[in-house]
Amino acid sequence: MGGVIIKLGGALITDKDQIHTFRPEALMPLASILSEMASEGRRVTIVHGAGSFGHIEAKQAGLAGGYDPARETEQTQAVDSVRASMINLNGMVLDILREHGIDCQTHPPREWAKGTGSTFTGDIGRFETPGKVHVTFGDVVDVDGDMRFGILSGDHLMERLALEAEDMDMAVFLLNGIDGLYDKDPKDPDARLIREYNSEASYTTTLDSDKDVTGGMALKVDVSKRISSSGPKVVFVNGLDMENMRRLFAGEEFTGTVFKRAKSHE
Ligand code: IP8
């Protein structure tokens, strides 16, 4: 059985509008599913987003653009503060996973990764230790040169891990209350779920760029296209629909958006 890498969206595990607000009620049922998968011998890797533990403060201090000499004091404080918040969020995620019997090993990117985007550097081999569920998250990382620091999104971590970790079967993005990618704003009654994404499909998203310092849904789509073109298939599903997720992980029919593995890899 190949590995599965799962992104717990920041909008799913936190309230994106309320600073530092964790949603344990969203993570708990998921942790039961992840625990079952791990105990069945499935190799599970987890990446989580930042939600209101990262984006709000990072946006206010302009951290995604890197070092700004005119804002040095403010940015230095914000880098420390966002890093501390991310450790806090990661700690709460780990507590719930461990309470569900999952043997986790965490990898805060600031300790091993440098640079942002899909070309960040760092040894991904640390995620290969067998018998563990490896966990990482979007973070403030060091960047070479004048930029000094920047935001490494969990979506770029998903990309590199899905493509470079050994024998990955599937990359899954868990969304907050929507079933996948829609052709129009999902609140529009005419909106249709895109069940199979191909590069011609046009889509829109309500995920708000004013609150997000990384890339919202557009970044997820870009990353998913790259993963599925040379690596495993990618699936977007509703992270609040446990029955549907059980069907997905059991290999049954499920509701969601699939980015199929490129033909040459089938
Ligand atoms: O929520 C962003 O990670 P993402 C990380 O996975 C920070 O895009 C610190 C804002």
Closest Cα to residue 210, out of 79, 16, 8, 12? 16
What is the number of the ligand 1 atom nearest to the C-alpha of 140? 9
Its pTM stands at 0.95
Asked whether residue 168 carries a pLDDT value surpassing 60, the answer given is: yes
Ligand 1, atom 1, lies closest to the CA of 49
State how far the Cα of 42 lies from the Cα of 40, in Å rounded to an integer. 6
Asked whether residue 206 carries a pLDDT value surpassing 60, the answer given is: no
Asked whether residue 129 carries a pLDDT value surpassing 80, the answer given is: yes
Q: How far is CA 245 from CA 6, 19, 173, 197, in A?
A: 12, 28, 11, 19
Q: Which residue has the higher pLDDT, 52 or 202?
A: 52
State how far the Cα of 130 lies from the Cα of 43, in Å rounded to an integer. 8
Asked whether residue 139 carries a pLDDT value surpassing 60, the answer given is: yes
Q: How would residue 203 be classed by pLDDT, with cut points 50, 70 and 90?
A: confident
**pLDDT at res. 67:** 98
* E strand segments, 9-125: 44-48, 104-106
Q: Token match 């979506």: residue?
A: 155
Mean of the pLDDT values across residues 54-73? 97
What are 170's strand-pairing partners? 4, 233
Asked whether residue 44 carries a pLDDT value surpassing 90, the answer given is: yes
Mean of the pLDDT values across residues 123-139? 96
Ligand 1 centroid distance, CA of 58 (Å): 9
**pLDDT at res. 66:** 98
**pLDDT at res. 254:** 98
Pocket probe for ligand 1: among 47, 79, 85, 139, the residue whose CB has the most ligand atoms within 8 Å is: 139
CB 249 within 8 A of CB 188: no
Ligand 1, CB within 6 Å, residue ranges: 10, 49-50, 54-55, 58, 82, 86, 138-140, 151, 153-155, 213-214
Closest Cα to residue 47, out of 157, 171, 198, 142? 157
Ligand 1 centroid distance, CA of 246 (Å): 27
Pocket probe for ligand 1: among 75, 151, 156, 160, the residue whose CB has the most ligand atoms within 8 Å is: 151
Asked whether residue 264 carries a pLDDT value surpassing 80, the answer given is: no
Asked whether residue 85 carries a pLDDT value surpassing 90, the answer given is: yes
Asked whether residue 208 carries a pLDDT value surpassing 70, the answer given is: no
Asked whether residue 248 carries a pLDDT value surpassing 80, the answer given is: yes
Ligand 1 centroid distance, CA of 36 (Å): 27
**pLDDT at res. 86:** 98
Ligand 1 centroid distance, CA of 52 (Å): 9
Closest Cα to residue 64, out of 45, 47, 79, 44? 79
Q: Which residue has the higher pLDDT, 218 or 202?
A: 218
Phi, psi dihedrals of residue 153, rounded to the nearest 5°: -75, 145
Mean pLDDT of the chain: 94
Mean of the pLDDT values across residues 229-256? 97
Q: How would residue 198 be classed by pLDDT, with cut points 50, 70 and 90?
A: confident
Single-letter code of the amino acid located at 23? R
Asked whether residue 71 carries a pLDDT value surpassing 90, the answer given is: yes
